[in-house]
Structure 1
Amino acid sequence: MNKKKPVTPFGWAIKRRLTELQIDQKTFCEQHGIPPYRLSNLIHGTRKATRFRHQVADVLDIPEELR
């Protein structure tokens, strides 16, 4: 049975900003050189991915309290 991980508050912030910018995850990853699986890790909290976490938070201007 494949159970999906829930989305973290940081993950929701990522999804919200991408929606506001009208850009999908794949395009965002391509534009910023982020592997799609790493963005998924950040959204679901399955890995820290610190380098990409800071990059995504900065590019999307995610508030400090959600990082």
Structure 2
Amino acid sequence: MEINPLAIAYEVEKLEDGKWVHTGQFGDGRNQGKPLPKEVTERIQRGEEGEVDVSGETYRIRRATKT
């Protein structure tokens, strides 16, 4: 059975001044936070995790941990 990547919540952080800053939580119907560049949104839709550079800015995508 294939899992829909959007059924999983992803944390997105942006590298600012050498520190990771929480940008929002996306997927799983949450989509809460600052607007993301198209490249980051597309990676979330494909279920990809990791770092991505967009126009000189670095974003980190990872599955959200359950609390």
TM-score between both structures, scaled by the size of structure 1: 0.32
Higher relative contact order (Cα pairs below 8 Å, separated by 6+ residues) = 1
TM-score between both structures, scaled by the size of structure 2: 0.32
Bigger strand share = 2
